Amino acid sequence: MTESFSDHVLTLAARSVVRTVRQPANVVFPFVFPLLLLAVNAGGLNSATKLPGFPADTYVAFALAIPFIQGALFATMNAGTDLARDIQTGFLNRLALTPLKGVELLAGQLGGIAAMGVAQALVYLAVGLLVGVRLASGPAGAVVLLLFAILISIGFGALGAFAALRTGSGEAVQSLFPVFFVFLFLSSMSLPRNLIETTWFRTVATVNPVSYLVEAIRSLIIIGWDLEALALGFGIALAITVVALFLASRALRTRLARA
Amino acid sequence: MRLAVAHGVAWRTLHNVFTNPSLLIPSLVFPLFFFVAFAGGLSQVRNVPGFDFPLGYTAFQFVFVLLQSAAFGGVFTGFGIARDFESGFARRLLVAAPNRAGIVLGYAAAALVRWLVTAAVVTAVALLVGMQVGGSRVDLVGLYTLALLLNLAAVLWAAGVAMRLRTMQAGPVMQMPVFLILFFAPVYVPLALLQGWIHVVATANPITRVLEAGRGFLAGSPTEVGAAFAVVIGLAVGFSVWALRGLRSAEAAG
C-alpha cells in the first residue's frame, strides 16, 4: 500500500495535535496565559488611552494583538519540546527507518502547530469580541488575522523545531522562551512607537521585528486596512518562516544523517 | 540541631544556584528585564492626567520590580525544592536530618540570600539609570524589610506546594498564583487611576497595600505602613504553617 505525501503529513499533524491536547499544560497555558496578561494589561493601562495621540478608545482593543504573538511563542515551545522529546525517546530514529521524508516530518509537525494556532486565534478573537472590541477591518479582517496567526505559528514553530533538531534537548528549547519574551516586551506591545518616550527604547522597538508583527494585527483591529502595516507584518512573518524552515530542514538532514 | 540542618540545606542550595548559570541568570535577568520594559517602555504613562507619584515613573516601577523579584526569588527556590524531591535528594535529606523543620528553614534562608543578591543588582541598575529616591534611610529599611518578608512568604508558599506535589510539574502551581496576585495590584498606575473591575480587584488585593506602602517609603511619605506589614507578616506566618504541613505530607509519603 502506497501512502501519499498528504497522508504522511496529515498523520503526523494529527499526532502533533493529539499529543498537545493530551497534556493539559500545553493547552491551558497557550490559551489562558495570554488572556490573563491581556486582562491585567487592559485593566491596568486603560488610563493610557487618555494620552494625547493614543490610537484607540479602549486599551483592550489596542492590546488584543498581543495574545496572538504570545500564542505563536507558545507554538514555538510546543513544537520544539515535542520534537526534542521525539529525539530523546528515539522516535525520530525509528521514523528515519521508514519511507517518510524529512519535509513530510516537518510539514506534519508544523501542520499540527498551525491547527493549534488557528484554535488559539479563534479563542482570542472570540474573547475580544465578547469584551466589546470591534474589528475596524470587519469580517474580512478577521480572515486576514487568522491567516496571519497561521503564518506566525508556522514561522515560530519552525524556529522551535530548529532549536530542537540542533540541540536534541527539550530544556534547551524551553530556555528559548525568555529570549522570545524579551523580544516581545521590547517591542511596541504596550504603547505605540510614537508615544514611547524613552529614546533608546523607541529605537529598540523600531528595529525589533516583533513590533511590526504586533502592529499588523493591531492595524486590523483598531485602524482598518493599513496596507503598509500589513505589508510589513506579512513580509517579516514570511521572512521569519522561510529562514526558520530553511534552518530547520538543514538541521533535520544533519540529525537524520547522524541517526 | 535545627540551625545546623538549616545551614547545611541553605549552603547546598546557594552553592547550586551560584555555580549554575541556568539557575542564577534568570533570577537576576528577569527583574531587570521587567524594570527595563516597564520603566523604559511605559515612561509616558507619567503624563496620564492624575498620575501623581512625585519621583517619576522609574521609581514608581522600581518598587513593583523589587517586590516582584522578592516574590519570584521565593518561587524559584521552590522550583529547587521540587527538583530535590524529583531527584530523590530530598528523601535522603528527610532520612538524614535530625530536625526536619530545619530543612524548611534552610530553604528559606537560601531564598533570602539569593534575593538579597538580586535586590542589590536591581537597586544598583535603578540608581545608575537615574532613579530618584525621596525616602530617608529609615524609609528605605522599611521598603527592603517589606520585600524581605514577602520573599519569606513566597518561599514558604512554594515550599508547601513543592513538598506536597514533589514534582517539577508543580512549577506553574507555585508560580501562577504569585504572578496573578502581583499583577492584580496597581502595577502600571496608582490605584486611583484604575477603573472598573481591576480597581475593585486591586482594592481588595492585599498586595496593593504592600505596593502602596513600598512606593510611599521610596517617596519619603510613608502610607499604609501598618496594613502592609500586617499583610506580609500574616502571609509569612500562614505560609509557615502551610510549609510545615507540607513537610509532614512529604514525611508521610516516605
Q: At what angle do helices B225-253 and B89-96 cross, to 10 degrees?
A: 90
Domain residues of chain B, as ranges?
Answer: 2-253
- CB distance A178 to A195 below 8 Å: no
Note the pLDDT of residue A140: 96
CA distance A139 to A5: 34
Beta-strand (E) ranges in chain A? none
CB atoms within 10 A of CB A7: 12
Contact B186 A44 (CB under 8 A): yes
- pLDDT (0 to 100) of residue A258: 59
Q: Mean pLDDT across the stretch B236-251?
A: 94
* C-alpha torsion sign, points A53, B131, A209, A249: negative
Contact B37 A185 (CB under 8 A): yes
Q: What is the ipTM of this complex?
A: 0.75
Interface of A with B in 50-89 (CB under 8 A): 50-51
Residues A50-69: pLDDT tens digits? 999 999 999 999 999 999 99
Distance CA B178, CA B30 (A): 15
| Nearest alpha carbon to residue A35 among B126, B180, B148, B48 | B180
Q: Mind telling me how many Å the CA of B197 is from chain A's nearest CA?
A: 8
In the numeric block, the cell 504573538 is attached to A69
User: From the CA of A7, how many Å to the nearest CA of chain B?
Assistant: 35
Cβ-contact A73, A229 below 8 angstroms:
no
pLDDT digits (tens, 9 = 90+) for B111-143: 999 999 999 999 999 999 999 999 999 999 999
CA torsion, ordered B93, B95, B98, B104, to nearest 10 deg = 40
Does the pLDDT value for residue B90 go beyond 90? no
Contact across the interface for B42 and A50, Cβ inside 8 Å: no
Q: What is the mean pLDDT of chain A?
A: 87
Question: Of A12, A68, A103, A79, which is closest to residue A237 (Cα–Cα)?
Answer: A68
Contacts with B19 (C-beta within 8 Å, 6 or more apart), sequence order:
none
User: A36 at the B interface (CB within 8 A)?
Assistant: yes
A48–B180 C-beta distance less than 8 A:
no
Q: CB A186 to CB B47 under 8 A?
A: no
> What is this structure's pTM?
0.83
pLDDT tens for B161-202 read 999 998 877 887 888 899 889 999 999 999 999 988 899 999
Interface touch A196/B172, C-beta < 8 Å: no
Q: Measured between beta carbons, which residues in chain A are less than 8 angstroms from residue B196?
A: 43, 46
Chain A partners within 8 Å of B189 (Cβ): 44-45, 47
Which percentage of chain B shows pLDDT scores above 90? 66
Per-10-residue mean pLDDT, chain A, length 259: 72 80 73 88 89 93 94 79 83 81 81 86 95 94 95 91 85 72 88 92 95 97 96 97 93 77
Give the model's confidence band at B4: pLDDT under 50 very low, under 70 low, under 90 confident, else very high.
confident
CA distance A7 to A3: 6
Contact in structure between B123 and B218 (CB atoms under 8 Å): no
Per-residue model confidence (pLDDT) at position A126: 96
Chain-centroid distance, C-alpha B163: 19
Q: How far is A199 from chain B (nearest CA, A)?
A: 9
Q: Is A200 on the interface with B (CB under 8 A)?
A: yes
Model confidence over A113-159: pLDDT tens digits?
A: 888 889 999 999 999 999 999 999 999 999 999 999 999 999 998 98
Pick the closest to residue B114 from B82, B74, B153, B81 (CA basis): B74
Q: What distance in Å separates residue B22's CA from the closest CA in chain A? A: 9
CA dist., res. A125 & res. A220, Å (int): 12
Q: CA-CA distance, B57 to A115, in Å (whole number)? A: 42
- For residue A186, the chain B residue with the least C-alpha distance is B37
Q: Which three cell numbers stand for residue B191?
A: 490605584
Average pLDDT over residues B226-244: 97
Tell me if A211 sits within 8 A of A64, measured CB to CB: no
Write the residue in B41, B172, B183 that is nearest to A191 by C-beta. B41
Q: What percent of chain B has pLDDT over 70?
A: 99
Alpha helix positions (H), chain B: 2-18, 21-35, 41, 57-87, 89-96, 101-128, 137-165, 171-183, 197-204, 206-219, 225-253
What tens digit of pLDDT does each residue of B31-55 get? 898 898 888 889 899 999 999 899 9
What is the rounded CA–CA span in Å between residue B193 and residue B202? 11
Asked if the Cβ–Cβ distance from B33 to A185 is below 8 Å, we say yes
Check CB contact under 8 Å for B44 and A44.
Answer: no
Which residues from chain A sit within 8 angstroms of residue B180, using beta carbons? 36
Closest residue in B to A203 (Cα–Cα): B41
Q: Which of B50, B169, B194 has the CB atom closest to A43's CB atom?
A: B194
